[in-house]
Structure 1
């Protein structure tokens, strides 16, 4: 299947607005052509530095300016991070993501420590991902040299809606970070959040931006807002499964080889709704009790769901030939 990065906004609009069952059917067919449909990448996300963030993201309980009850803590000890990564691997995760509530990476001792964490987790045979805020080309190169496999930096919403949600950094700041990550040869993970009060047009515009980047992100998380008391979006209604299906199916059609991740909001979704999302083309989840600071299904619940639906975890470094050098280490295919 030919990958396109020249989608028009009208084309994305037409795909997204199909009758939902036709949309899901089309996405499922493309998913079957391009991916192993019974395989789901299991990822775990750990907050290695929580709270105290100077940003004003309206959805985020880690912003210092909001009173959400999140206790700020400094960077976790290396041993604690490595133990969490080992537990995640033992529970079936093949990608481990470390998040820090920073506006941007600074060239200081904390960044040096994160680089050391990347090296250690990489040594476990996991795909290592980080989400640390904005970065420059030099910092992206340092992360690559330490063994980073992927970097997450979400667009969150459309350019048009963005200023209603965040004022402390620009949309172009986000796009520039993605460019630095791509240029360094690190896998790009970038998606967004629905339920912020945006319109369907905003959702379509965000998907259009992702699908017309110079190369499709290797991973696109689709997050449903988890409203948190104390944030400006605390009273937003829950996103419906039909909205999630439209986002996931459209992403799958536009970006056939991308991992489409069913991310935040999964705690509120029964297995029947999650099954529909997998049918529509989702093939990645976060597993573990928390997504940074918000609740998430634990490993045991996901194992039961996988058994019920006949799903199996995707192996780490699946797209990398056995024995090839991957960001400073020799790739071994993990079960």
Structure 2
């Protein structure tokens, strides 16, 4: 029997799910997935860094932090909106139906740069694509402007559990993140909110993060599950890569506790072989990021993804809106 939508999961219950025998866990997750989604449909999303580097936050995993001076990364100013919209058009032709734009900011500031982001959002929507941005913290009037521009979703990840959070970030509180998510939700924008595994956290930390997400009403429409990509010059550069089956377990657990959400197989996918990626899709992932780079870290190649989706005989998601 498929899992029902719940908002009362305990951490212990989620840990128990996560630690089920793997075939039992994947079987239950697949049944849940089939009850709420077409298992043959996989959404392709494209992700672009529209402003790279120089972020004042000190996230231990992130090469864009200004605190990590040894990282080999070129800082770039905000891209021209016309160039961004043209790149979105190329992504659409390559099969993507969601275009995500990330700026390495701590928070949104009013002015010419935010005006440019609004133009980008409108331009992407005019192409008939879903538009998602990740811009850091924002105020109510800024969320309202994004909503009026037609923004589909706002990405603002929790990253990890409340208990492990200060081991990874100290320049922004967990409550800051929750407040931003509440602001976004208040203006009718979908939430894209997940986290990263492989940063040294425990299974209980992973379950605690999922509990925070699953207690939201409604659940986030989009839940990215990322595996850490260690980057030279960051505090986590020597962190070992996770076993691919840990990612499978996290995807499956997320699918069970948030049955209707789109679970996105995100960073770290480039290190997975085809079979591990397919197992994640069987376990409930129904979106991949499509393109050679995720902000500043490598992603699976477009050709490899085409082969993967062809092997699955997967069809694209059916949420593309008509161009305005």
CA distance in 2, matches of 1:52, 1:9: 36
Matched, 1:254 2:257: yes
Counterparts in 2 of 1:284-299, with a 5 A limit? 284-299=287-302
Question: Does the 8 A contact of 1:27 with 1:252 survive in 2?
Answer: yes
Q: 2:7 aligns with which of 5, 8, 16?
A: 5
The aligned residue for residue 79 of structure 2 is 76
Q: CA deviation at 1:2?
A: 3.9
Q: Indicate the RMSD between aligned Cα atoms, in angstroms.
A: 1.3
CA distance in 2, matches of 1:77, 1:139: 20
Question: Does the 8 A contact of 1:51 with 1:64 survive in 2?
Answer: yes
The aligned residue for residue 158 of structure 2 is 155
CA distance in 2, matches of 1:315, 1:89: 14
Partner of 1:43: helix, strand, or coil? Answer: strand
CA distance in 2, matches of 1:288, 1:20: 30
Q: Across the two proteins, how many residue pairs are aligned to each other?
A: 321
The aligned residue for residue 60 of structure 2 is 58
- Structure 2, unmatched stretches of 5+, are none
TM (normalized to structure 2)? 0.97
Q: CA deviation at 1:265?
A: 0.4
The aligned residue for residue 49 of structure 2 is 47
Partner of 1:226: helix, strand, or coil? Answer: coil
Partner of 2:164: helix, strand, or coil? Answer: helix
Deviations 1:156-203 (A, max 9, x none): 000000000000000000011111111110010000000111011100
CA distance in 1, matches of 2:4, 2:282: 22
Counterparts in 2 of 1:1-335, with a 5 A limit? 2-66=4-68, 67-317=70-320, 331-332=321-322
Q: CA deviation at 1:298?
A: 2.4
Deviations 1:268-304 (A, max 9, x none): 1110100000010000110101100001112222111
CA distance in 1, matches of 2:271, 2:89: 27
CA distance in 1, matches of 2:11, 2:301: 38
Runs of 4+ in 1 over 4 A off after TM superposition: none
CA distance in 1, matches of 2:32, 2:280: 14
TM (normalized to structure 1)? 0.94
Question: Does the 8 A contact of 2:15 with 2:203 survive in 1?
Answer: no
CA distance in 2, matches of 1:268, 1:105: 33
Question: Does the 8 A contact of 1:99 with 1:292 survive in 2?
Answer: yes
CA distance in 1, matches of 2:301, 2:318: 19
CA distance in 2, matches of 1:126, 1:50: 23
Question: Does the 8 A contact of 2:11 with 2:204 survive in 1?
Answer: no
Q: CA deviation at 1:8?
A: 1.9
Q: CA deviation at 1:84?
A: 0.8
Question: Does the 8 A contact of 1:125 with 1:316 survive in 2?
Answer: no
Q: CA deviation at 1:15?
A: 1.1
Deviations 1:56-78 (A, max 9, x none): 00000001121211100101111
